[in-house]
Amino acid sequence: METFEVPEVVVLRLPLYVRALTQLLADEMEVVSSQQLGNRLQMTPAQIRKDLSYFGRFGKQGRGYNVHFLLAELRQILGLDREWCACLIGVGRLGRAIINYPGFTPQAFNVVAAFDNDPDQVGQAFGRLTVQPMSELPETIAARDIRIGIVAVPASHAQTVIDALVQNNVQGILNYAPIAPQVPMGIVMRNIDPVLSLQSMTFYLQQMD
């Protein structure tokens, strides 16, 4: 199985399966059918079976999926069976919230460094992290094997920060700044902008009025 053969929309759904299966495991459910999984995720059983077929055969017809086995397989496919080191750029209110978010660690992500270009922020301790100046970015990325960068800076600085991450071989970037960043081919970029989500939501709300 080559990753480029898997449609991106399928890859984006895999974490939803992992979340649902984790909840089922917590509920001590050992076997789940595609129908039951579909009901939880508001998807059709056929879509779930098609998505999973890109990665192999995980269940038997009429018997469903072993929850523990399928969860372990999907975590391995997503690379969640290992730890990924990340760095945070920008320790304003959003950045501090990200640092203090406890949900990263159980999901295999470890924020190991934080950076800011504000002299008032550099040297400040937030939890187990001490804010470093941007000048230390290259050395720290290399020393800590950082593969993911989290960008939480104002829009006016975001592209510069993203360029610096790319130049220092960070291949995955999670961007919270409200811009459409430009990155080279081969960089995995994910943008999080709640305003865009709200604007698309109001389209549907307006149709209801």
Q: Where are the alpha helices (DSSP H) in the chain?
A: 8-26, 34-41, 45-53, 67-77, 93-100, 137-144, 155-167, 194-208
Alpha carbon separation from 59 to 99, 146, 186 (Å, rounded): 39, 36, 33
Domain 84-195, classified CATH 3.20.20.70, yes or no: no
Q: pLDDT value at position 3?
A: 46
Q: Average pLDDT, stretch 7-34?
A: 94
pLDDT tens, 43-73?
A: 999 999 999 999 988 766 668 899 999 999 9
Cα–Cα distance measured from residue 141 to residue 146, given in angstroms and rounded to the nearest whole number: 5
Record the tokens describing residue 74, joined without a space: 């999907």
> CA 111, CA 128: separation in Å to the nearest integer?
10
Bridge partners, 89 (sequence order): 115, 151
Task: Please determine, for residue 158, whether its predicted confidence score (pLDDT) is greater than 80.
Answer: yes
pLDDT, residue 52, reads 93
Confidence of residue 12 (pLDDT cuts 50, 70, 90): very high
The 3-state DSSP class for residue 43 equals coil
pLDDT at 2 over 60: no
CATH topology of domain 3-77: Arc Repressor Mutant, subunit A (1.10.10)
Which of 108 and 177 is assigned the larger pLDDT?
177
What's the pLDDT at 38?
94
> Could you tell me the residue ranges of all domains in the chain?
3-77, 84-195
Q: How do residues 79-129 score in pLDDT, each as one tens digit?
A: 999 999 999 999 999 999 999 888 776 678 999 999 999 999 999 998 889
Percent of all residues in the chain with a pLDDT value above 70, rounded to a whole number: 95
For the cut 70, the answer to whether the pLDDT of residue 178 exceeds it is yes
| Strand 148-151, strand 172-175: pairing | parallel
pLDDT value at residue 127: 83
Is pLDDT at 4 greater than 90 in this prediction? no
| Mean pLDDT of the region 28-41 | 94
Whether the predicted model's global pTM rises above the 0.85 cut: yes
Residue 189, pLDDT score: 95
Instruction: Give the strand pairing for 109-116 and 132-133.
Output: parallel
